[in-house]
């Protein structure tokens, strides 16, 4: 043993160290906390997964979407539709004195324009079928209401910030401009983009409607 080693050993014998703290209680507490946290995290993850699966199943999705609103349009699923009749698209809309600033799909022209508080609309012709395009500004919940029966299909679509496709059995549309007007409506594409709610109605397929809508808001 060298002189340096002997000196270090002697120094160690003379130094006083505080007693080592008992770390077990803290370790045990952390282990216990992890036992509670992990099941909670797994439960939350399972809940999110279940919600995602529910949205992927049409009947469950319909139940989740029983009442909601997208921009200025509210949609409510009901067992029995309120009284309404099939009427022209323009029912409840006032004619515009001048063409409003309304972006239309390419190569389509409007046959008539309509205007109301916070709303502009146009009648269009596409492949011999009539369409109604409406633009609703603001987030006035209930500006336009839709009552949807059990046999009307509601599907989320990748369009704008949020889009919905309503198809199948007709639903009831209510325009709330002064005198409330009610009529039956067919296939409708709804979407929200930059604070504006768009509504496109007509007897076209989902693919055709989406193609036209993406010419309005790419």
Please give the pLDDT value at position 74: 84
- 10 lies in a domain? yes
For residue 181, tell me if it sits in a domain. yes
Residue 4 predicted with pLDDT over 60: no
Query: Tokens 């309404």 appear where?
Result: 84
Q: In this structure, are 78 and 125 located in the same domain? A: yes
Does residue 185 share a domain with residue 80? yes
Q: Are residues 88 and 129 in the same domain?
A: yes
C-alpha distances (whole Å) from 123 to each of 108, 112, 210 are 10, 5, 17
Question: Residue 61 falls within a domain, yes or no?
Answer: no
Within a domain: 74:
yes
Return the ∠ at Cα 110 (arms to 104 and 115), rounded to 5°.
Answer: 85
> Are 16 and 83 in the same domain?
no
Q: Is position 62 within any domain?
A: no
SS3 for 212?
helix
pLDDT digits (tens, 9 = 90+) for 7-66: 445 545 544 545 555 545 554 555 455 444 444 444 434 444 443 444 454 554 444 457
Would residue 182 count as lying in a domain? yes
Q: Are residues 176 and 89 in the same domain?
A: yes
Are residue 89 and residue 193 in the same domain, yes or no?
yes
Residues 179 and 83 in one domain: yes
In degrees and rounded to multiples of 5, residue 39 shows phi and psi of -60, -35
Mean pLDDT of 104-132: 89
Distance in angstroms (rounded) separating the CA atoms of residues 36 and 45:
15
Please indicate, yes or no, whether residues 27 and 49 belong to a single structural domain of this protein: yes
Distances (CA, A) of 189 to 20, 89, 133: 71, 15, 10
Total number of domains constituting the chain:
2
Residue 191: is it exposed, middle or buried by C-beta count within 10 angstroms (0-12/13-18/19+)?
Answer: buried
What is residue 120's predicted lDDT score, i.e. its pLDDT? 87
Residue 201 lies in a domain: yes
Residues 23 and 91 in one domain: no
Q: Identify the domain containing residue 28 by its residue range.
A: 3-55
In this structure, the answer to whether residues 133 and 188 fall within a common structural domain is yes
Instruction: For residues 96 and 49, state if they share a domain.
Output: no
- Which tokens belong to 130? 């009539």
Residue 194: DSSP 8-state: T
What is the torsional sign of CA 15, 21, 27, 33?
A: negative
User: In this structure, are residues 74 and 190 in contact, taking their beta carbons and an 8 Å threshold?
Assistant: no
% of the chain with per-residue pLDDT over 70: 63
In a domain, 51, yes or no: yes
Mean pLDDT of the chain: 75
């Amino acid at each position: 043993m060298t002189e340096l080693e002997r000196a270090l050993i002697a120094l160690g014998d003379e130094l006083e160290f505080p007693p080592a703290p008992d770390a077990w209680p803290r370790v045990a507490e952390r282990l216990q906390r992890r036992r509670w946290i992990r099941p909670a995290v797994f439960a939350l993850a399972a809940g999110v997964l279940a919600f995602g699966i529910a949205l992927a199943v049409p009947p469950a999705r319909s139940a989740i979407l029983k009442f909601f609103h997208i921009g200025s349009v509210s949609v409510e699923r009901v067992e029995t539709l309120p009284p309404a009749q099939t009427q022209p698209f323009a029912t409840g809309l006032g004619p515009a004195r001048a063409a409003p600033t309304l972006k239309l799909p390419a190569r389509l022209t409007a046959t008539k324009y309509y205007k109301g508080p916070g709303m502009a609309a146009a009648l269009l012709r596409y492949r011999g079928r009539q369409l109604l395009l409406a633009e609703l500004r603001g987030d006035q919940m209930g500006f336009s209401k839709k009552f949807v029966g059990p046999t009307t299909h509601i599907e989320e679509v990748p369009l704008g910030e949020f889009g919905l496709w309503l198809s199948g059995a007709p639903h009831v549309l209510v325009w709330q401009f002064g005198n409330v007007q009610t009529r039956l409506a067919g296939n409708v594409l709804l979407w929200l983009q930059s604070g504006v709610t768009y509504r496109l109605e007509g007897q076209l397929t989902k693919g055709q409607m989406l193609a036209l809508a993406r010419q309005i808001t790419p």
